[in-house]
Amino acid sequence: MKVALVTGASSGIGEATAVELHKAGYTVYAAARRVQRMEGLAAQGIRVLEMDVTRDESMVEGVKQVVAEAGRIDVLVNNAGYGSYGAVEDVPLDEARYQFEVNVFGLARLVQLVSPHMREAGRGRIVNVSSIGGRIYEPLGAWYHSTKFAVEGFSDSLRLELKPFGIDVVVIQPGGIKTEWGGIAVENLRKTSGGGAYAGQVRQLSGVFSQMGRASEPKVIADVIVKAAEARRPRTRYAAGFGARPILFARRVLSDRAFDALFLGAMRRFA
């Protein structure tokens, strides 16, 4: 039986992915900090791991446990992440560093820990959950977007590096998905920059986020991740979920200035 490790599995996309991979016949290890939030997964026969992707020993122990119990890891889904929002002037650099620890260095450390086992097996698949935010940008989102742009470039380099060993690397670019992500992002935004010089922009961007009511269910992304894990020749990138394809298309065909105008127009419209 193929074995998958999914991070950020206590909620949203990661939780749905653990369920869908389990249904597809994988032995699934679901990892996150809030183990009690994964009791429902455990009840379905999914193995649960307490893991904090900012703590090295937590990741080392988690991967050790998977390999000791299951003997292999076929698929790593690097999904844990959150949105640190606020004006660059206002976000403390310690928070910016933490954002990178979770969204980039945690993902990278798990790649380091898992790839030797995949190399030994001569096969494996690493699925990195980026975002359409790995291609586009918003005001007051500099740190979040920096991490996702980093995930995009990191994944491209890694894909070439691991190709000779039969390991493929796939990037997932969700659009708007109904999860805890939006609430956490808006809370960060308001807490960090809600009261000062950027209050007007905060109001406008909150309006854009309020469109998340129209977002897609996490299963939409979970299904794409299963496809990416199973495909004999996967695409390098899969974009899915509310707005993903049209927004990425607009970014591809518009100049920077034209895309700026489009985004600022949307902020004014939804304010």
Ligand X SMILES: NC(=O)c1ccc[n+]([C@@H]2O[C@H](COP(=O)([O-])OP(=O)(O)OC[C@H]3O[C@@H](n4cnc5c(N)ncnc54)[C@H](OP(=O)(O)O)[C@@H]3O)[C@@H](O)[C@H]2O)c1
Residues with catalytic roles: 144
Q: Which residues bind ligand X (CB under 6 A)?
A: 7-14, 32-34, 37, 51-54, 79-82, 102, 129, 131, 174, 176-177, 179-181, 184, 215
Q: Which of 132, 151, 136, 138 is nearest to 238 (CA)?
A: 132
Nearest to ligand X of 79, 204 (CB atom):
79
CA–CA gap between residue 96 and residue 101 (Å, rounded): 9
- Least distance (Å) between residue 194 CB and ligand X: 20
Asked whether 223 and 197 are in contact (CB, 8 A), the reply is no
What DSSP state is assigned to residue 101?
A: I
Judging by DSSP bridges, how do beta strands 124-129 and 3-7 pair with one another? unpaired
How many Cβ atoms from other residues are within 10 Å of residue 64's Cβ?
A: 11
- Least distance (Å) between residue 34 CB and ligand X: 3
Asked whether 1 and 72 are in contact (CB, 8 A), the reply is no
Nearest to ligand X of 78, 192 (CB atom):
78
- Least distance (Å) between residue 237 CB and ligand X: 13
- Least distance (Å) between residue 113 CB and ligand X: 14
Nearest to ligand X of 119, 227 (CB atom):
227
Q: Which of 179, 267, 270 is nearest to 216 (CA)?
A: 179
Nearest to ligand X of 12, 124 (CB atom):
12
